[in-house]
Amino acid sequence: MASVFHDSMESIQARIISLALQDILPSNVLILKRLRDVESDLPANPKYPCILIGPVGSETLNPNAGTNLRDEIVYPINVAMLDIDNQDQEANFDRNLLWRERIRRKLNNCRFEDVPEVVRVTVQPGTIVDPQMFDNNKYASVLGIQVTSREDRIA
Amino acid sequence: MTNYQGDYSDDWEWWDNTEPVTITIKRANSSNPIPAGATTTNISISDAFRGDIDSKLTEYSGIDIASVDQIWSVPTALVGANRIEVGDILTDGDGVVWAIANATEVTIGTSSLYWTLATNKRATN
């Protein structure tokens, strides 16, 4: 039996791979426990560009949501697009924005057919180009994904 | 207070363990007015001093991004009239490229001694 949370991340991973985003190898779309850009966590040859998927913060349980039989829970997931940028103001800018646009269009208000508990998926865009990361020679762009699930209580 | 005007700009000549580096500055000007075509100037520095190196993670929107930071000291006398700015780059003797994130000109009164450069190692695949 798999968790709804992990199944949701796998569903996001599969959808992003299905987009065949320019320069993103399928093996470079990864699910991580902790989203971090360290060499030991990243694929080899090439490490970048890559897309990391992982949990952020904690789930939300709204006591006023759900049904008489099922609780509603929201799983917060981050999708992070990473690449080498080396402070180049022009290189790959359009490509990177297109990654972001296509992932948003693929995920926002979609249904996960393979995760029946999930009733809604919404995208909450994060910072488009983080200035601190730009100065650190990396491109990092994040989309927050809110996965809403309705789950039976365990008797 | 005395009226003594010391010149400390040659203090770097007593530095130990220095190494050659190249600082590259890129500036748009009237001939090349847009950044993409900006004039690139390479400044050869015979004696730069390498400081501490720091490998760290910086948190950003729930992700930790790795960077390698290095402090450099570069004699003002060898930089000449050029001004070093954020975004310029320093290439060390091994060919490793460092992006300048902070540049401080260290002075004693009217004497300019050296530039302290906080740099980030350029990322590679």
ipTM of the complex: 0.76
Q: Hey, what are A11's tokens? A: 């569903």
Using one digit for the tens of pLDDT, what is the confidence trace for A30-59? 999 999 988 889 888 889 999 999 999 999
| Residue among A52, A59, A53, A29 nearest A146 (CA) | A59
pLDDT for the residue B38: 74
Q: What's the gap between Cα A96 and its chain centre?
A: 15
Q: Are A105 and A123 spatial neighbours (Cβ–Cβ below 8 Å)?
A: no
Q: How far is B124 from chain A (nearest CA, A)?
A: 7
- Residue holding tokens 């999930």? A118
Q: Where are the alpha helices (DSSP H) in chain B?
A: 76-79
d(CA B75, CA B77): 5
SS3 B68: strand
In the predicted structure, residue A10 carries a pLDDT above the cut 80: yes
Q: Helix A93-107 to helix A4-18 angle, to the nearest 10 degrees?
A: 130
> Considering only CB atoms, which residues of chain A are within 8 Å of chain B?
34-39, 45-48, 52, 56-57, 78, 80, 82, 84-87, 89-90, 126-127, 130, 132-133, 135-138, 140, 142
Using one digit for the tens of pLDDT, what is the confidence trace for A61-105? 998 998 989 999 999 999 999 999 988 888 999 999 999 999 999
d(CA A127, CA A88): 18
Using one digit for the tens of pLDDT, what is the confidence trace for B45-103? 999 999 999 999 988 777 888 889 999 999 999 999 999 999 899 999 999 999 999 99
Interface test mutation site (partner A, options B60, B96, B117, max chain A beta carbons within 10 A): B60
User: Across the A/B interface, how many CB contacts are shorter than 8 Å?
Assistant: 83
B contacts of A82 (beta carbons < 8 Å): 63, 65
pLDDT level of residue B33 (50, 70, 90 thresholds): low
- What are the backbone dihedrals phi and psi of residue B66, each rounded to the nearest 5 degrees, phi first? -85, 145
| Residue among B67, B96, B124 nearest A37 (CA) | B67
Q: Are A35 and A54 spatial neighbours (Cβ–Cβ below 8 Å)?
A: yes
In the predicted structure, residue B1 carries a pLDDT above the cut 70: no
pLDDT for the residue A39: 85
Contact assignment for B58 to A132 by CB distance below 8 Å? yes
d(CA B78, CA A70): 72
Lowest mean pLDDT among A103-112, B7-16, B26-35: B26-35
Q: What's the gap between Cα B76 and its chain centre?
A: 10
pLDDT for the residue B7: 86
∠A85-B84-B8 over CA atoms, to 5°? 145
Residue of B nearest to A56 (CA): B62
pLDDT for the residue A78: 96
pLDDT for the residue B32: 67
d(CA A69, CA B91): 64
pLDDT for the residue B36: 65
With a threshold of 0.80, does the pTM exceed it? Answer: yes
Using one digit for the tens of pLDDT, what is the confidence trace for A95-132? 999 999 999 999 999 989 999 999 999 999 998 998 88
The Cα-based distances of A19 to A13, A97, B57, B110 in angstroms read 10, 14, 30, 60
Contact assignment for A37 to B65 by CB distance below 8 Å? yes
Contact assignment for A35 to B63 by CB distance below 8 Å? yes
